[in-house]
Amino acid sequence: AAAAAGGAGQEKQLAPTLLSFFIYNPKLGPKEGEEEKKILFYHPNEVEKNEKIRNVGLCEAIVQFTRTFSPTKPAKSLHTQKNRQFFHEPEENFWMVMVVRNPIIEKHKDGKPVYEYQEEELLDKVYSSVLQQCYSMYKLFNGTFLKAMEDGGVKVLKERLEKFFHRYLQTLHLQSCDLLDVFCGISFFPLDKMTYLKIQSFINRMEESLNIVKYTAFLYNDQLIWSGLEQDDMRILYKYLTTSLFPRHMEPELAGRDSPIRAEMPGNLQHYGRFLTGPLNLNDPEAKCRFPKIFVNTDDTYEELHLIVYKAMSAAVCFMIDASIPPTLEFCRKLDSIVGPQLTVLASDICEQYNINKRISGAEKEPQFKFIYFNHMNLAEKSTIHMRKTPSVSLASVHPDLMKILGDINSDFSRVDEDEEIIVKAMSDYWVVGKKSDQRELYVILNQKNANLIEVNEEVKKLCATQFNNIFFLD
């Protein structure tokens, strides 16, 4: 998908790729000759030591230099012809740097390949956000850098970084990053009040019966319904669940009755519940009850939790329990016997209700509008532009150029506080409209032949009236 064919097969476009990624702390090797100590993680590791030191030193210098102009906001990115560097200081003196190669157009001149770097293609905001998410994801599973230092000094921190980023960097997919990475939003499952209250009631009862559960989150169809976690923690956990954990577990109940996946399911005819993290087979006395650990509320209470993800049909529940209490096999069996049957019933209730609501609102038709909506207040995100997320990438169904326009409009919005509206006429009859009202942003792509500005404005109004009539959205 990365190599979109350009004009007449002569040109070839090479997507942006990750050149290097490193983390350093200048305070760890302040003296000359000790520069290597600053480096906590470097990808690719094969790079020669002196080059590593040189690159780190360069970043350090750039940051220091720009700090003289803007003490509170030093440089965030560096544009060069071939690549772009992004800087991020998530914790004091800890710097993360990501170097991305600009996309290239490969042309053939006189039989020889000629490379043309596209310097202005990458959006700073998109890739800065990707870098920030790298940190958030690390922190979710490992806690802060500082905590690792306290736990066991540089050695432990280096081990943790190596272990985490070695795998994580392979999943970055820089070629398909877009506006949604800037938002890093949460898609909420639309639900009627009564079903929502039933879910509430279910969660409260589960937390009561499984009294070691500290927080619960509830998702349906990979969309969030309830989070007991705070917003920022949920944001990154949601990303992990929807882009990593869920796609890895193909749903056996969707597979045919006689399929081998189904046969492997622990023989339970009472319900469809199963663990996505933790023991695979509860009947196996040797089954290991190991759950991923996550770190939340790192700013104040700094809690370490076990993450239990349990799923029945399309409904998934995350139970988070204090890390000091290791969950036993007995606990897992209890959870399975209590949660399994109830969640199965609830999941089919939700499905039924959802279909009824869909029929009433007549939303079965394909949305005619291609739009992205995001609300900064609750991180709610909705996109009719993107296909369903796959394990590897989330694909936009429109031309990358249009996605880039969206990104540009977003950058414009973030520069001012006031509500505004931007309408752009793109190539080949496309109109792109960006609207910002209070904390909400809406981007619409319209493809109407010979439409004029007034007609486009009318179309957007129509969209707002149908899709967003229950919120305060200024015209």
Partner 1 sequence: KTKNANILGFCWTSSTEIVFITDQGIEFYQVLPEKRTLKLLKNQSINVNWYMYCPESSVILLSTTVLGNVLQPFYFKSGTMSKLSKFEIELPVAPKSSKLSLSERDIAMATIYGHLYVLYLRHHSRTSNSTGAEVVLYHLPREGSCKKTHILKLNRTGKFALNVVDNLVVVHHQDTETSVIFDIKLKGEFDGTATIQQFVLPPRSIQPYQIPVAGPASVTSQSPVPCKLYSSSWIVFQPDIIISASEGYLWSLQVKLEPVVTLLLDKGKLMDFLLQRKECKMVILSVCSQMLSTTERGSLSVIATVFDKLNNEYKKYLEAEQSYTMVVEAGLSRSNPLLKRPVRTQAVIDQSDMYTHVLSVFTEKKEAPHKFTIAVLMEYIRSLNQFQIAVQHYLYELVIKTLVQHNLFYMLHQFLQYHVLSDSKPLACLLLSLESIYPPAHQLSLDMLKRLSTANDEIVEVLLSKHQVLAALRFIRGIGGHDSISARKFLDAAKQAEDDMLFYTIFRFFEQRNQRLRGNPSFTPGEHCEEHVTFFKQVFGEQALMKPTTF
> Contact positions toward partner 1, by CB under 8 A?
188, 191, 193-194, 196-198, 200-201, 204-205, 207-208, 226-228, 230-231, 375, 377-378, 380, 419, 438-440, 470-472, 474-475
Q: Min. distance of Cβ 413 from partner 1 in angstroms?
A: 16
Q: Min. distance of Cβ 469 from partner 1 in angstroms?
A: 9
Q: Min. distance of Cβ 260 from partner 1 in angstroms?
A: 39
- Print burial letters for 17-31: b (CB count within 10 Å at least 16), e (below 16): bbbbbbbbbbebbee
C-beta closer to partner 1: residue 398 or 460:
460
Q: Min. distance of Cβ 353 from partner 1 in angstroms?
A: 13
DSSP 338-371: HHHHHHHHHHHHHHHHHHHHHHHHTTTSPPSSEE
C-beta closer to partner 1: residue 193 or 415:
193
Q: Min. distance of Cβ 300 from partner 1 in angstroms?
A: 11
C-beta closer to partner 1: residue 369 or 468:
468
Q: Answer yes or no: are the C-beta atoms of 262 and 256 closer than 8 Å.
A: yes
Q: Min. distance of Cβ 231 from partner 1 in angstroms?
A: 5
266 phi and psi, to 5 degrees? Answer: -55, 130
Q: Min. distance of Cβ 197 from partner 1 in angstroms?
A: 4
- The residue ranges of DSSP E strands in 376-414, in sequence order, are 380-383
200 vs 225: CA distance, rounded Å: 10
Residue 423 is classified by DSSP as E
For residue 65, the SS3 value is helix
Within 10 A of 288 (CB to CB), how many other CB atoms are there? 10
285 vs 37: CA distance, rounded Å: 46
Within 10 A of 310 (CB to CB), how many other CB atoms are there? 22
C-beta closer to partner 1: residue 244 or 378:
378
Within 10 A of 150 (CB to CB), how many other CB atoms are there? 12
Nearest to 213 by CA among 197, 228, 223, 201: 228
Q: Before 44, cis peptide (omega within 30)?
A: yes
360 vs 223: CA distance, rounded Å: 21
Q: Min. distance of Cβ 109 from partner 1 in angstroms?
A: 54
C-beta closer to partner 1: residue 188 or 240:
188
For residue 305, the SS3 value is strand
406 phi and psi, to 5 degrees? Answer: -60, -45
C-beta closer to partner 1: residue 230 or 429:
230
C-beta closer to partner 1: residue 56 or 225:
225
C-beta closer to partner 1: residue 59 or 456:
456
